[in-house]
Amino acid sequence: MSQPNTTLKPPAHSNELKVDFPADHVLLLTFNRPKSLNAMTPTMADDLRRVLDWFEAEPQLWVVIVTGAGRVFCAGADLKAQISRWNNDQQQNKTDEQQRIAADVYGFASISRRQSTKPIIAAVCGGAYGGGTEIVLNCDLVIAGEGSKFALPEVKRGRRNPQGVLLTTLKLASEMLFLGRAVDAAEAHARFGFVNRVVPPSEVLPTALSIAEEIIANSPDAVQSSKEGLLISQKLDFHGTLLAHTGSRASTRVYKGENIKVCRMIRTVNTQAITFRVADWYVFDLFDHRRA
């Protein structure tokens, strides 16, 4: 594993969120309310918004992993904080909850509707419920511990999921939204398709870190441009996506930036490996399969 950058200085945040740099170019965010099953408070949500906005702008960070301390990834919104807000709204005759949701461009926990061009990995142990599942569904890669549960149970309580749900088909989305039942990690992987890998609980974070290492071994410009293309494709048809993506700033960085320029090539005769060093950051091996 690459050594973390110790010079990075994240924004101020409370102890409800842990911020770490487990490897170079990798940010690790841990929801840190284990006694409350990492239920999301306004304080934690504000912490996440500030830190993730900083992450977006920090060129030395290319991937973020989000996980939860203790036995649950995130149990959704903190009901005590919600009830307090609802009571205050009632006393002040406020009826603007729908407007607040629409104006919240980043969604639940500043993640569920965030359109980041940098990869977001969820490392889930125990389970994710309500808003916790909404977070997971907007992550690019999801590593789940065996036996983990995912649920969108809002309909059982007379509410809905306002902060964004994206599944592979409307029928699968309907099943989770209308029934409100929990699905386990195996089903989320094999049938619903929003979990990439199911591993023993002790291997969840190591697996997520290993995947992050694989990502940062690639060109950050190419990775971010590729993700931008996926985001655009959710809004436009194929032709529109092609045109918008080809002319984007992220694509320009790929085609005209330093990372595409090969600075040195060394052939190792014994292993037939070709090593390319691109700019100052990018080293990878390609194996030459030509016969000796």
What are the residue numbers of the active site? 134, 154
Strand order in 282-287's β-sheet? Answer: 262-268, 273-278, 282-287
- Cα–Cα nearest to 110, from 74, 144, 143: 74
Distance in angstroms (rounded) separating the CA atoms of residues 75 and 154: 12
Q: Where are the beta strands (DSSP E) in 40-105?
A: 63-68
Spell out the long-range contacts of 92-97 with Cβ–Cβ below 8 A and sequence spacing 24 or more.
none
Give whole-number Cα distances, 24 to 50, 61, 209, in Å.
Answer: 21, 8, 11
Task: Name beta bridge partners: 122.
Answer: 66, 142
Q: List Cβ neighbours of 144 (8 Å cut-off, separation of 6 or more).
A: 124, 125, 150, 185, 188, 189, 195, 197, 198, 199, 204
Distance from the first to the final alpha carbon of the chain: 33
**Using DSSP, how many helices (H) and how many strands (E) does the chain show?**
10, 12
Distance in angstroms (rounded) separating the CA atoms of residues 231 and 19: 26
- Cα–Cα nearest to 23, from 238, 216, 204: 216
Distance in angstroms (rounded) separating the CA atoms of residues 265 and 263: 7
